[in-house]
Amino acid sequence: MIANFPTDVIAATRKYIYVFRRRGFIKPTSYFVLLLCLSYYLGYLSTVSKNPTHEPHQHYSTTTSSPPSKVVVDHYQFQTRCADPIPSQFIRETILNYVFNGTSPYHDFPQPHIKPLLRQKKINGWGSTGAVFRNLIHKVRPKTIIELGTFLGASAIHMAELTRELGLDTQILCIDDFRGWPGLPNQFQDIKMVNGDTMLMYQFMQNVVQVNATEAIIFLPFSTASTLEKLCEWGVFGDLIEVDAGHDFHSAWLDINRAYKLLRPGGVIFGHDYFTAADNRGVRRAVNMFASVNGLRVKADGQHWVLGSF
């Protein structure tokens, strides 16, 4: 402890002793003053050690020890290396094997106990048939489309119709946990709920069956984060990726970063709600930040943002 004494305290103490000597103070008084200084300083030290964030010793604090720049850099790291891309004609089979034990989830759908809970067809969406879909599908002619956020399948079904029109043999992978969001049953009362389980996935499947698109559309009913990690591990890449799941900044930021790694060369990534004020413009902030970090230019198409080789 003494060895760590700051030099200014030692110097001050020496000065006092010198002054006391010169003024002829008697020795016990000098020792008394010296003792007073020491006890004050030691008391001060013990207070600081109980409160490590005390300003003069802030560098002892573990919570503030990392330089902010390092923390910021970590947020930009999405390091996982993906497997080599598998050929697009094997993608459907790969998903069926990994996710559905090799069987089509549309097999024997709908089961008798589910059928009465579904509408023949119920398709709602948001900007799901905007011009951007036609523009990009005509431009990219994708073999594989990955959609993050599917809901009742409005945009996926629209893309299936567009690719069919062009005679493309496109596989559309829909990633959605089919939970919607808290409060969904109040907003969409004809999507039934059974014991707290919303029928969103079954209604989506029913819509796909209705438009005869079960061969074009396959789905992965999980969170975007865990699914994108798996697609990366399996080497499943997309020519066109639509991001339309969580609209808060952090969800959009993670989705865009993870999805971008799965884009084939020459592919395009795009998403909805670039201009809407929803979630404090979280989507726009995430898109702009991603573009700026990666040196890309954002193109707008209606309410949609587009990033890619133009």
Give whichever of 140 and 191 is closer to ligand SAM, judged by the CB atom: 191
Q: Which of 164, 307, 295 is nearest to 240 (CA)?
A: 307
Cis check for the bond before 142: say yes or no (omega within 30 of 0): no
Shortest reach from residue 148's CB to ligand SAM, in Å: 7
Q: Which of 282, 239, 278, 276 is nearest to 259 (CA)?
A: 239
- How far apart are alpha carbons 173 and 189 in whole angstroms? 27
Shortest reach from residue 153's CB to ligand SAM, in Å: 7
- How far apart are alpha carbons 67 and 305 in whole angstroms? 34
Shortest reach from residue 258's CB to ligand SAM, in Å: 11
Q: Between β-strands 171-175 and 217-220, what pairing exists: parallel, antiparallel or unpaired? A: parallel
Shortest reach from residue 291's CB to ligand SAM, in Å: 21
DSSP tag of 57:
G
Within its chain, how far is the Cα of 276 from the centroid?
19
Q: Which of 154, 158, 162 is nearest to 137 (CA)?
A: 162
Give whichever of 176 and 239 is closer to ligand SAM, judged by the CB atom: 176
Give whichever of 128 and 171 is closer to ligand SAM, judged by the CB atom: 128
Give whichever of 13 and 223 is closer to ligand SAM, judged by the CB atom: 223
Q: Which of 105, 74, 280 is nearest to 204 (CA)?
A: 105
Give whichever of 17 and 99 is closer to ligand SAM, judged by the CB atom: 99
Residues whose CB falls within 8 Å of the CB of residue 39, separated by 6 or more in sequence, listed in order: none
Give whichever of 163 and 251 is closer to ligand SAM, judged by the CB atom: 251
Shortest reach from residue 157's CB to ligand SAM, in Å: 8
Q: Which residue is nearest to ligand SAM (CB)?
A: 125
- How far apart are alpha carbons 202 and 288 in whole angstroms? 35
User: Which spans of this chain sit near ligand SAM (rule: CB under 6 A)?
Assistant: 125-126, 128, 149-151, 154-155, 176-180, 223-224, 244-246, 251
Shortest reach from residue 174's CB to ligand SAM, in Å: 9
